[in-house]
Each structure stands twice: as structure tokens, then as C-alpha cells.
Amino acid sequence: MKIQLDFSSITIENAILKIESSTIEEDWLEECLIFLKSYKNQTEFTLKTSGTTGEKKKIKVLKEQMVFSASATLQYFNLKPSHKVFLSLSTNYVAGKMMIVRAIIGKLNLTLAPPSTSPSKYISEKYDFAPFVPMQMLDLLESGKIKNFDKILIGGGNVDNRLLNSLANFETAIFESFGTTETLTHFAIKRLLPKKENYFKTLPGFTVKTNSNNELILNKNQLIKESFCTKDLITLKSESEFQWIGRSDHLINSGGVKIIPEEVEKKIQQHIKIPFVIVGLIDEKFGEIVVLVSEGKPIKRLKNTTLNISKYELPKKYFVLNEFPRTESGKIKRKQISQLIKT
């Protein structure tokens, strides 16, 4: 069910032939084959976003931009030829595609496995590096397979404190990524374990600044042809270090008080054991009010006297959805949830 492509000793052509001659006939491997062929023959690619912050969209990138991004990641993680890396993410999306590009230009020994929320069943040896999403990390925790990796990069969703505390028992170096499809996955990294860092640090070749609303502006470089605003609210330490606060397009304006949902979630997450989100709901008196939406079952009403939150941040209404809408990587679609509770 998995296939090994050691780019330290084979070419892209060899990799294509190996997959074509494989007895594995599954869609995920066909997707890998399609991307390898296009990477060999094309100089421009069309990528699709996950749709987390809105509608899915397609963007065009050049091969040289993919190489620039991949090289920055290889340099940051000190990945060298023959280093063993593992991939269990869909190559339909940029995260999977870029791991293949890193393997090609870094001459890495890549193991391809089916995209799965239970990747541990495909892990039987040691690896130097792998990207995973939070849902996959839960499986690695349960199976104990985290110890099979020297370094792990978590992307596709925020890493909450409960997951982070569970990871503390392992010696594996754990990192969190920050980026967008437009930046070809991540352009900044934060170490989570050991010795958690408070600030994301940009990869080589990337710098940032803020506008008057404290939104992140990514400066142009070989990958980014024009500076653009990501709509992420940050605290800027330097042009290469920042702390993520939340999203400006998630802000709740309740009676003139601007509330950042992600900050509220961070403050109360230790008191809630099931998935939940904070969103805004239109209100005649205040314009918007803070509401809490939980997945699967209701949550007991919270009291700000026992929490480190203001009366403005305290949820005024509570909703339950049987199942949250999520992207393929498992990231919760906050805007879609907001629409669902309005109907």
C-alpha cells in the first residue's frame, strides 16, 4: 500500500516508471503519478486552495516558485540527500505536491502512503521528516508512532494545548507551519517541542510587515511577485518574527467592542473537551454577539467569573452541530459554520 521513491539514486523518469509498473492501483497513487509527469514536463501549474477562509479558488504558479519554496524548507530543516521522508497527504492539494518537490530537488528518500487519518498503519521504519495535519497526529499519538520521526511539521490547522501537552512525552522535534496556498504551503515555522517558541520565524528569503490594522503583509520575493495582505492579525517582533493572533475576517464587532474569536477559543479551550468554535451572530441590539458552536453534543454555559475572559467575550448563545464541515486536511470551515447557525 506504500511505495518508496529514493530521489538520491533515481530520476523523475525512473520514479514515473516505478509507479506505472506498481501493482498498486489506487486513486491516490494515480494523483502522484499525474503530478510527477506534469512537474517533469511543465513550467506552470494550477493549484487549488482548500476553501478554509472562503470559496475554493485556483491559482497559477511557476516551477521556479515551487523550487524556491521547497529550497527554503530544505534549508530550514537541514534536510540532506538520502534523508528519509514520509508523505500521507493528498497530492490533489499543495501540501502534498510540495513535499514531492522537496524530495526531488533535495534528493530525498521519499515514502508515499495513502492519504489517511490513520497513517500509523503505514509506518514501520524511522524517518527524518514528515508533514502531518492535527487529525493525523492524534493517530500517531495513540499508536506511539511519533517516536519513528526525528522531525514533524504540523500544518492544515491550529495546534491546541491539549494536543501539545500530549506530544510533550516524545523526543521528536515538533513544528507548526504558517502559510497559504499562494505561498506554496508555509513561509514561517514555529517550534512547538522541545522548548516551545512564542513567535513564528520566516523561512530564508521571506520577510513580513503589518498595515495600520495589524494585518500581516508578506513582502515580495522570488515567490511573491507583489506584496499582499493575508488578513492574519499578528504582533510583529521583527521583519522575520511574529506572533499570530487571529483573522481580521473573523472579527466580531459587538456593541463597538472588537472581539477576536481565536483569542477567546484559546482562553477557554482547556475547559471544553470536544471540538468547538467561536463565531459572531447578527443581533439587533449589539450588531453582533459572541456565540459558541460545539460538535456532537451541547456544552454547559460558561461563566466569565471562572474564566479569564471579559463579559464581552463570554458566549451569549450556544449551538450544536452534529458534525462540523471540514477541509480534506481536517481544518474546520468557520465561515460555513456561521452560515449553518443562521439558517
**Same domain, yes or no: 270 and 176:** no
Nearest 5°: phi and psi at 244?
A: -80, 135
Domain membership flag for residue 233? no
User: pTM of the prediction?
Assistant: 0.88
pLDDT at 51: 56
**Same domain, yes or no: 284 and 195:** no
- The rounded percent of the chain whose pLDDT value lies above 70 is 97
CATH number for the domain spanning 102: value is 3.40.50.12780
pLDDT at 289: 95
**Same domain, yes or no: 183 and 257:** no
**Same domain, yes or no: 178 and 281:** no
Q: Which of 205, 240, 259 is the last residue of a domain?
A: 205
User: Amino acid identity, residue 155?
Assistant: G
**Same domain, yes or no: 187 and 270:** no
pLDDT at 181: 82
Domain membership flag for residue 223? no
| Residue 160 confidence (pLDDT) above 80 | no
pLDDT per residue as tens digits for the range 175-218:
999 998 888 989 999 999 998 899 999 999 999 999 999 999 99
Q: Which SS3 state, helix, strand or coil, does residue 262 take?
A: helix
**Same domain, yes or no: 18 and 161:** yes
pLDDT per residue as tens digits for the range 37-87:
999 999 999 887 655 555 667 888 999 999 999 999 999 999 999 999 999
Domain membership flag for residue 325? yes
**Same domain, yes or no: 190 and 312:** no
Question: How many domains does the structure of the chain reveal?
Answer: 2
pLDDT per residue as tens digits for the range 265-315:
999 988 898 999 999 999 989 999 999 999 999 999 998 767 888 899 999
Those residues with Cβ within 8 angstroms of residue 343's Cβ, 6 or more apart along the chain or in another chain: none
Helices (H), the chain: 12-20, 27-41, 63-76, 94-106, 134-143, 161-167, 261-268, 334-342
For the beta carbon of residue 241, count every other beta carbon within 10 angstroms: 18
pLDDT per residue as tens digits for the range 102-111:
999 999 999 9
pLDDT at 93: 87
How far is CA 57 from its chain centroid? 17
**Same domain, yes or no: 129 and 13:** yes
- Where in the sequence is the domain holding 260, given as residue range(s)? 251-342
Domain membership flag for residue 176? yes
